[in-house]
Structure 1
């Protein structure tokens, strides 16, 4: 038998039982090519933005004019009947005229601190007080009324509580306890000033802004951030002042926190007092330094001014506080008026509250600080 390996290819015969092999890869490739050609042909020949997705057009109905009351208000006058339980018969609603000018007018909606827009000037740090276009000053607008007490001719005492705003709960407790005629001084650093100042203003208290000024032993004794310093450029101190003044609104004026060195320097203190005069604010000197030039500078710049006569709780004990208050009463009887400063310590607040209840029976009136700054 001839070996198959040596048999020529042209002469080889297929065996009867040999299987025929189909070109499967070629067939699949052809099918894919046909599908691709069909897809391209459809995209080119058929214009269908929705890509064959089913769609249906329906009419859109609107309820824009379905509210009959709203339509009536838009078209003309309408009468609305109030709930008789909320507004009983015989009661009335008083309208307030805005923008009228004068101490008793409302010149717009107050902000969260009770400051009026017409008495506010926007700066890079926030709003600071200014005199309104009608000439109304923050000192007049935010002062607690005291005309009757002044007209009575009786001796008057003013108490200023300082250091409020840093301890939120302690500040709120003081606001709740103290009579509304007591003036409250707020430090500019509290995180909850939006709450405490608004609560004080709502309770009828007039407020002062505490401004940190350089003492003689600065920086060993530091009143706080943004302290106004002697020897610095005027612009730098005014920038600090504007930052401090923007911490909250609705205050009648400023009261110093320390500042024996600063208030004794006319070159440094004068620009600050000029700003207060130009913005219609008052200044109350805490009486801690006999070298302070505040009286002269306030007078020269038409700044409402007064000076505290006594620190009431230098010794924070009830007996000592009562003794200091008795001295303040004697000074008020002698001079017709007196101003005392007290810290926001709980013992001081409680003692002041108890003492104030019997003061009028002694023929002495308790008045806000602004009443003695005019």
Structure 2
């Protein structure tokens, strides 16, 4: 038979005291501190992540908001701006006296030694005109006074001369309407004194409304139409300066086309011996004439008297002649004194009487 194991007996406690159980010390204080530190670190990291994301995506979000506002018609919220420091209120400066800008007077035709090409030393050779049938025996003379329209006082004296004189007025000049009205009321003929580019441009500027050889045709036509509309009662046109432009047939063609359509004539002032205005006018069958004598490119009484005699002489030789002067005091003085004698030798007529279509 198997023997039963006897139960193991516990050893008796040692003498000297009862047996003590070992107890663990509580860890609750340390765990709380660790958890708190971890939480703080996580909060700091989350705040940093939020700040980073805000800085990175704020422009895109703002742009999206503005785009959405544009679609819906609502106003996008504007980002807050930091307050600006209050600026010191500026003290008003003392008001300066207002002065009116002086009226710029025109540069007249260039007749001095520096720009000699503007006028030949001698009168240009022109083709002989066919005999003109006259209503009487006297040759016909047209005197044109250029550069009218600027208030210098003397132009009104020219208008008071009791003789047939043609007045050519610069476009966009301060007195253009007044002078045109006065001339028209006195039964005098009015021309547009059309500014054209001289050889010395831009050192020499013909003034407002100038036509330049470098312009496109469209630009030139726009300016030309403005010039033509600026001066009332015009019967025709003559050039102001223009030693450069009147050498360019390509520039003259569109100008003459407009003049013909508007029923105007053209008088070539002949500021250069190389002008091609005559053949261009012939091509377009535009009523045309050209200057024979300049009266006052030297401003002395003796010279103007000599030129006036030359004008009469040319008229007697050819049956007609055109003289061009300017609103100078010396020119007025000579005309006022000499026109009675001139009117006895020749018949003073408006410029339109001496233009014709060249065959």
TM-score (norm 2): 0.60
Measured against aligned partners, the alpha-carbon deviations of 1:36-68 in whole angstroms (never above 9, x if no partner) come to xxxxxxxxxxxxxxxxxxxxxxxxxxxxxxxxx
Q: Distance in 1 between matches of 2:148 and 2:214?
A: 30
Paired position in structure 2 for 1:204: 187
TM-superposed CA distance for 1:178, in Å, is 4.8
Distance 1:199 1:351 in 2: 22
For residue 155 of structure 2, what is the aligned residue in structure 1?
A: 171
Matches of 2:165 and 2:259, distance apart in 1: 22
Residues 1:330 and 2:334 are matched in the alignment:
no
Structure-1 residue corresponding to 2:142: 158
Where 2:272 maps in the other structure, the secondary structure is coil
What runs of 5+ residues in structure 1 fail to find an aligned partner?
A: 1-148
Task: Choose 190-199 or 204-213, whichever is displaced more.
Answer: 190-199
Aligned to 1:252: 235
Residue 168 of structure 2: SS of its match in structure 1?
Answer: strand
Residues paired across the two proteins, number: 224
Deviation at 1:153? 4.2
Structure 2 residue 337 is matched with structure 1 residue 373 = no
**Residues 235/327 of structure 1: CA separation in 2 closer, same or farther (3 Å cut):** same
For residue 143 of structure 2, give the secondary structure of its aligned residue in structure 1.
Answer: strand
Q: How far does residue 360 in structure 1 lie from its aligned partner after superposition?
A: 3.6
Q: CA deviation at 1:228?
A: 0.8
Structure 2 unaligned runs (5+)? 1-132
Is the contact made by 1:306 and 1:372 (CA closer than 8 Å) also made in structure 2? Answer: yes
- SS of match in other structure, 1:275: helix
Displacement of 1:291: 1.4
Matches within 5 A, 1:152-301: 152-167=136-151, 169-179=153-163, 181-301=164-284
Cα distance in 1 for partners of 2:340, 2:274 equals 36
User: TM-score normalized by structure 1?
Assistant: 0.58
Runs of 4+ in 1 over 3 A off after TM superposition: none
Alpha carbons 2:169, 2:231 under 8 Å: kept:
no
Q: Is the 8 A contact 1:270 1:297 kept in 2?
A: yes
Matched ranges for 1:15-94 at <5 A: none
Write the deviation string for residues 253-277 of structure 1: whole angstroms up to 9, x where unpaired: 1110111111111111110011111
1:352 to 332, 335, 340: 335
Partner residue in 2 for 1:124: none
Q: Deviations over 1:101-135 (max 9, x none)?
A: xxxxxxxxxxxxxxxxxxxxxxxxxxxxxxxxxxx
Query: Does the 8 Å CA contact 2:194/2:237 hold for their aligned counterparts?
Result: yes
Shift of 1:231: 2.6
> Helix, strand or coil: the match of 2:172?
coil
* Structure 1 residues 174-231: Cα deviation after superposition (integer angstroms, max 9, x where no partner): 101251x111111113223222110111011101101111111210111012211113
